[in-house]
Amino acid sequence: MRLRLKLFLLLANALPAIALVACAVPSDVGTSKASLSGAVTGVHHLLLTVTNLDRSVHFYRDVLGMRVEHSSAHFVMLQAGDFGVALSTHPWDFEKKGEAKGVGVIPHFTTPNMDEFAARLKDNGIPWLRAPMREYFGIEAFIMDPDGYQWAILAPLKPNPSD
């Protein structure tokens, strides 16, 4: 358990440096070709479970300057360039509660082809926490790594040429 806590703290301390690098380099939101069939190609957004949506929107929109892309009663998607932060007051049913690893944060990897990604999971015996579903921003599914960390996989929707 101490090793997991040390790893969590190491990653938490590295996030500011990662954020600075992300500001300097355009992020890949799934438009690049995967090096391996069905492999992830980037990160689309982070989903943060928050206790007070208004307070969080104020911070991300008004303090950090992100723009609101979508909102509902319990969910807001904010955007800064190609990177998004989603805020939600309702955790997923499968989300771990009260544990130190990843509570309230579900990073989203991107893949250009969810079917090929699903085949990779099947080939490796990895089950879905939630099977792929179409959302307003793409086809989204959830998995867990061997240590219990939860990840989302997103196949972003291609822009409509008539938009």
In this predicted model, what pLDDT tens digit does every residue of 43-89 receive, in sequence order? 788 888 888 899 888 888 887 788 999 999 999 999 987 889 898 88
Residue 109 scores a pLDDT above 60:
yes
Query: At a CB cut-off of 8 Å and minimum separation 6, what does 76 contact?
Result: 53, 56, 57, 68, 70, 86, 87, 88
Using alpha carbons only, how large is the chain's radius of gyration in Å?
16
List C-alpha distances in Å: 120 to 62, 74, 130: 41, 33, 16
Q: How far apart are CA 160 and CA 37, in angstroms?
A: 24
Q: How far apart are CA 117 and CA 113, in angstroms?
A: 6
Could you give all domains of the chain from N- to C-terminal order, each with its CATH number? 29-156 (3.10.180.10)
